[in-house]
A and B are shown apart, each in its own frame.
Chain A
Amino acid sequence: MLYRASIGTVALLMAAAAATSVAWAWDDAQYPDWKGEWFRASPVQWDSTRRPGRGQQAPLTPQYQAIYEVRLAEQEKLGGQDYNPQVRCLPPGMPRAMIGYEPLEIIVTPDVTYMRLQYMQAGPGPWSRHSRDIRSGGGSTKTGTAATTARSRNPRLSRSARGREHRHSARRRQPNHHQGADFPRPIKGRTH
């Protein structure tokens, strides 16, 4: 009788504990491990298997093929890219954002998967940095399919022949070190 009571108690406690764990814990073991930096593994044209520009053979309608030809001519003859929103420091929007001009970070949580695309936009001087976050939801945990909710007003396909590289400043230096004795010690044991 004593054993039966003990078994009942153990079973009850385990069931309660399991229910509590399910309610609170997020089992990230069932999601893919996509942590870290993801680098673009191909050139910046939209279809990386084809040559840039007309070589993309984009299935444009005649109306937009004509617009594209005007832009290619502007780029080839005049050197301009006024059609390209990025030269004015505007974000490329979707789907162009997924070219991944800068490393991509994917943050997986049960409710939202965040695709953090942080990139430099080489504009008219060094004053042009932007970052974007694309919050997506409702996706499969296996395939990563998602309904993307952030878009820009005027997304364009990638620049073709003259892809301008976006580089961080080459300037590097060591972390700061204060000398004032009246400053408290930092969290990680740095001495001021």
Chain B
Amino acid sequence: MDYRKLLCAGALAALCASTTGALAFDESIYPDWKGKWDRVGPPRWVQGKDVAPLNAEYAAIFAKTTAEQKAGGFGWETSWMCMPPGMPRIMNAYEPMEIVITPDTTHILISHIHDNRRIFTDGRDWPKDLEPSYKGYSIGKWLDTDGDGRYDTLVVETRNMKGQRSYGTDGLPLAADNRTIVQERIYQDKADPKFLLDEITTFDDALTRPWTITKKYEHDPKPPVDWIEEVCAENNPHIRVGHDNYMLSADGLLMPSKPNQAPPSLKYFK
């Protein structure tokens, strides 16, 4: 009889344990992506011999941007005036990336220019009335692709962006209508888990077809002691006046950024 009481007590304890489990965030079912992730390779979207599948309209815009950049301008590119890169360019990871996983939201933190992302994994639907943002609105879902009882892949869709955006400093453009949709599949490289891969497919009206590339990030094994604080406006020598870009010289004077550039209007100084 005493044995039966003990067994009942054991069963009760097990029930209590399962109740506690319901309250706790069981991080053992999520991948351990803590620490710093550094971009592998240059922050360019076009990789290897890949060619951006731009349609004719945006191929012309890109050609014009390339010509303007050769002349000292920027064309479609806007980060020189501290504009956020937005999605999908954020995933170039200009600075080290930190991934904070919680049950409801996965945060991707990159100290650059407004590059921090929230990926909602709480099962919500798309909000009906939402102000667009450069980073867009991201909804994700965790997958256990190998059935081992532990999530290994985060799939994400991002919508509701605003612009003007490009894929990198070369000004490779995204469409001005800002109807971009970005789908991602983020997972650790099974062959070498120190690498994190992000398969990014961009749907955009500047493209002739959906464009998939894979970004790679390497885990920094050193325990993170500090994180870089990137402040774009600090010591930014670029100045925009009207629709043109100028430079601020080391002695604090306005200077041209292009050969034979006319000075800006001084109309309001008269």
Contacts and interface: CB of A to CB of B under 8 A. Distances in A.
Contacts of B251: none
Contacts of A129: 83-84, 113-114, 134
A178 B131 contact: no
A186 B137 CA distance: 14
A190 B114 contact: no
A73 interface: no
A176 B160 contact: yes
B145 interface: no
Given A24-B28, A129-B84, A186-B181, A175 B21 contact: no
Nearest to B204: A178
A191 B241 CA distance: 42
Nearest to B84: A129
Range, interface on chain B: 35 or more
Contact of A178 (B127, B179, B240): B179
B160 A175 contact: yes
A35 B141 contact: no
Interface in B224-261: 226-227, 229, 231-234, 240
Contact of A107 (B10, B102, B131): B102
Interface in A149-165: 149-150, 152-153
Size bracket of the A interface: 35 or more
Given A118-B116, A188-B139, A91 B160 contact: no
B27 interface: yes
Interface string A164-178: 000011011111111
B233 A90 contact: yes
Given A27-B23, A149-B226, A171-B131, A187 B81 contact: no
A153 B234 CA distance: 10
Contacts of A111: 34
Contacts of A172: 129-131
A88 B81 CA distance: 12
A99 B268 CA distance: 35
Contacts of A127: 78, 81-83, 240
Interface of A: 3-4, 6-7, 10-11, 14, 17-18, 21, 24-29, 35, 88-91, 107, 109, 111-112, 114, 116, 118, 123, 125, 127-131, 133, 135, 149-150, 152-153, 168-169, 171-178, 180, 182-184, 186-188, 190, 192
Given A26-B26, A29-B23, 14 more contacts: A10-B10, A14-B10, A14-B13, A21-B20, A26-B27, A89-B82, A89-B233, A129-B134, A133-B111, A171-B132, A175-B127, A178-B179, A182-B209, A188-B157
